[in-house]
């Protein structure tokens, strides 16, 4: 039975969910959250530009080690 809040229309036009990530910088043993709700990661050389859902930006140096959608994390290492 379909609940009154369920939507069976699963076409791409109706899927407007966004995947936001927590971006974490790892430097040796230290872990620091660089940005919550990251929606864009752009790489230019050794620089990584992060943008959140409000359009705020941060730039950091490092390399992306892992992006895990299930945990909603992006790990950057120095």
Residue ranges of domains in the chain:
19-77
Say what the pLDDT of residue 17 is: 65
Contact call for residues 71 and 54 (beta carbons, < 8 A): no
Say what the pLDDT of residue 66 is: 97
* pLDDT tens digits, 17-74: 678 999 999 999 999 999 999 999 999 988 999 999 999 999 999 999 999 999 999 9
Burial tier of 34 (Cβ tally within 10 Å: 0-12, 13-18, 19+) = middle
């Amino acid at each position: 039975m379909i609940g009154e809040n369920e939507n069976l229309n699963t076409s791409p036009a109706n899927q407007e969910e966004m995947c936001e990530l927590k971006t974490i910088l790892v430097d040796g043993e230290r872990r620091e959250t660089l940005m919550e709700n990251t929606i864009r990661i752009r790489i230019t050389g050794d620089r990584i530009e992060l943008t959140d859902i409000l359009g705020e930006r941060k730039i950091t140096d490092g390399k992306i080690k892992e992006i895990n959608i299930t945990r909603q994390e992006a790990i950057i290492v120095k």
